[in-house]
Amino acid sequence: MSFVDAKYIGLISVRLQKFSRKKEGLYTFRCPYCGDSQKNKNKTRGYIYKHKNDHNFKCHNCGASKSFTNFLKDQDVSLYDQYVMERYKAGLTGKMSNTPDPVLPSSKPHFKKKDFDLQRISELNNSHPAKIYLKNRRIPDNKLRELYFCERFKQWTNTQKHTFDSEDNDESRIIIPLKDKDGIFGFQGRTLNPKSKLRYITVMLDDEKPKIYGLDKVDDSQPIYIVEGPFDSTFIKNAVAMCGSDVDIRSLGWSDYIYVFDNEPRNKQICDRISRTIDNGNKVVLWNSEIKQKDLNDMVLAGLDVQEVVRTNTYHGLNAKVKFISWKRV
């Protein structure tokens, strides 16, 4: 049994009603998704159980089933982020492992970088896989010069700051720089391999900076859109992207900002985040029922005017609460 899994099962147990350890690798509690039996409050039909090298969740009342990784993400995002990092450092990323995308901390650099010693995506041949990938996603041409291509990600990352003890199984990645007005303070590496278990790896060169993409271009005198990912932020004006769940936007001093979450009304984690955003008095985009696409990128691919869509679907206060109730499906 993974000592990391055991640790985080113990940490999340305080959030689970009637939690009990039955034996090694088997735990039971009341299902947090369906609430378990409404007739018998002592029924515990939610289970975490060991399967090969990992743990899974299963409810024998509502039928919900998912990996422990996704279960933890639904229950506590902060614990989930810590869990991701510990599994990655422990090397639990191989076959039969469900390890999500890590954020790798780093020591503060002695100077601010203005550029990377890599080829820009805009400079690549039109037949290059990285350029084809971004073109197929319809990333605007003027944004391609702000992205880079790295042939050996681990090797290059270690030249910026020692991050990987081993450079085995290296791969190419698109480099997405995290900048503010002073220069580069981190970056994300986006894999081109559809089979990779780690789609994004975030490396911070300055841990005191917020994990946000787009700070170098944001105009805080105008409404700021806060979206889910860097690529989505390229489709609307004055947008930034969250690259970590531990960012407190209030610390940035912005007066007018709007959260744009993915259009997944059946995703409990997203619904919980939207609910907290509304309760905190913030503006949020809530999609109308005619929009079926999952995110801004999919909407662009479907031919929608996403700038107009977010403008006309922004809600706040009581209106947001009413709209949220009709939008969510969990």
Chunked mean pLDDT (size 10), the chain, 330 residues: 82 91 91 87 92 88 88 85 75 50 53 78 95 96 95 93 87 95 93 87 89 94 94 96 79 92 92 92 94 95 96 96 92
Q: What per-residue confidence (pLDDT) applies to 207?
A: 85
Of 209, 310, 294, 219, which is closest to residue 259 (Cα–Cα)? 310
In the chain, the N- to C-terminal Cα span, in Å, equals 32
Q: What per-residue confidence (pLDDT) applies to 219?
A: 94
CATH numbers and ranges of domains, the chain: 3-89 (3.90.580.10), 103-209 (3.90.980.10), 224-327 (3.40.1360)
Q: What per-residue confidence (pLDDT) applies to 109?
A: 46
Q: What per-residue confidence (pLDDT) applies to 138?
A: 96
Place of tokens 């900076």: 209
Q: Which letter does DSSP use for residue 165 in this model?
A: S
Q: What per-residue confidence (pLDDT) applies to 159?
A: 92
Q: What per-residue confidence (pLDDT) applies to 96?
A: 39
Of 83, 93, 109, which is closest to residue 4 (Cα–Cα)? 83
Distance of alpha carbon 234 from alpha carbon 81, whole angstroms? 25
Query: 226 near 238, Cβ under 8 Å?
Result: no
Q: What per-residue confidence (pLDDT) applies to 89?
A: 64
Query: 92 near 191, Cβ under 8 Å?
Result: no
Which one-letter amino acid corresponds to residue 193? Answer: N
Structure-token pair, residue 292: 């079926």
Q: What per-residue confidence (pLDDT) applies to 100?
A: 53
Q: What are phi and psi of 293, to 5 degrees?
A: -70, 150
Q: What per-residue confidence (pLDDT) applies to 90?
A: 63
Q: What per-residue confidence (pLDDT) applies to 95?
A: 41
Q: What per-residue confidence (pLDDT) applies to 245?
A: 64
